[in-house]
Structure 1
């Protein structure tokens, strides 16, 4: 019966996680083309595309204090539905103080029009609303297949052509991009910015089209500033912000609760406690091996271990390969050390009694230490010379 509550809690946890994941994939009703937003209506993908193409990109979450004339300013202007009266009236992008000062300094501004109803525009574009865009002066020079979510009649309402505006690019004989001189600078207006959002930028020729528009507006300069502060917020709202403050507080309470539970239990959830096995120390292992050798009178094993260590030290000092025959080693050492090696070999082969084996091993170790010390003294004398 104790497994029933755990199952219920597990199902509730899965339900909460599933609800959270579904909320992430929820379609956006309102447009928010912030250059740092990863949401469907955000323009983070365009931001990264420009960076990858060699542009220096700045996201101005607040009104920039100073803009250079060679910088291209990109501003999104959100517009309401033509037939809607309940949506608030939105300010025109060209009236923004940063836009006005940049135009007065001779800068170029790209104003991108985007409807507030992103969900409706997305459905319209997803159902096949694409068109071929070409230059008004020469339709054969460049053409792009671009997504859009509004009709040409809505473009004229949104863009509000100025008296000096001239069509730069057309879509089915309708002005899609216009060029208008204002103050000392120029305004490039794009009728529908749906193709620049994260959801549509990688489709059709949308990415290529926007790279060309921004390159044309900059006149070769590769310095772009997204005026995100013109959207009226400091950044894209997060998932928890959409639910309200209570969701943020509940989230942090869950984080603290899980941290406390993990700390108090000190073990992973759902896994059995590992059995505590007592492991013997190295000293106990050495004593056990020594006792085994002593009871079995295995003097040959002990002697061969001493021989192996002594041979390794001598060969290392003489720079002799470990595979070289023993006579090469003996030719380079003293007669007493060579004799000690030979006696130890014979004693190991004959399995000498423990008393004799101990004497043979001590002699080999003493001769080896004397030889190594003599070699070290010779090297020291050569250094002093």
Structure 2
């Protein structure tokens, strides 16, 4: 009884642990995209809501920059990495700025990967690393990983500001002729101003100034309030979205149609009968004994060709050369003498075998029994030369 109660308690505990594990879902990682839809630390949702609740005219751009709404005063590109800004869009933005608009471009930290057209237009390069500074914060842990940059020239939306809070990362270099550094720390620049026609471009290193986690730090929110006070402000969301995949080419559709056609023909040929099924033919093979009898009958009817006789002597003379060094060019008598001297085989054996071979060659036809007799003589000679047979006197 005690064991049953103990087992029941442990079973209940295991069930509770399993239920707790299944009910605890893993938190999805925070998005790194500075989108107005992102409520995470690195999103820009707080900025969008703050400006809207403050009575400013703020909207989202979800189409190409070629179709900016009329009356737009400020365009914000917050580190777009989803799809690149095209050359045509750069021309549209340049025209917008030349006519008096303001572009705020929060550049991605990694140059040369996402926005080549914009970087070429503004002539951007990576700058040195920003030094660490906790100036203006209540504690050192208020913004881990950030740094405070000084406002060097309080112009435009930086008028009246003294410090901004951004990530401690690399600054920017803007090689445009009209570029002026506005804020930074040490030798690293974080904010630039580029005058173009009647408008201006503010280039910032990274999207830190617009992030939810740093919007309320130091003078960050005052920078955006000053920009929104100029008139309608549009935040680009179109280039945060990934570009749709290219449509399938016509060749792929043709290939797929061919595969389907071949599969259909195969299925039709294998699945359709063109008449009544015929009975299976049973194939009877001949026995091995029949093959042996046929081979014996064929050998009995076969005739010996005379050309086989010279091959017997040729084979023996070649063996004499290899075994005893007796040249094939020597006369038969001399070859027989050397065979007796060096191989111990009587010369008469070789001369007798050669005489019988010559006699058979003179006959009109050669009987198999005569060929077998001469072949046997030459075989014994070859065995004697090879040392496989004792010499006979």
TM-score range, shorter chain: 0.3 to 0.5
Higher helix share: 1
**TM-score, scaled relative to structure 1:** 0.44
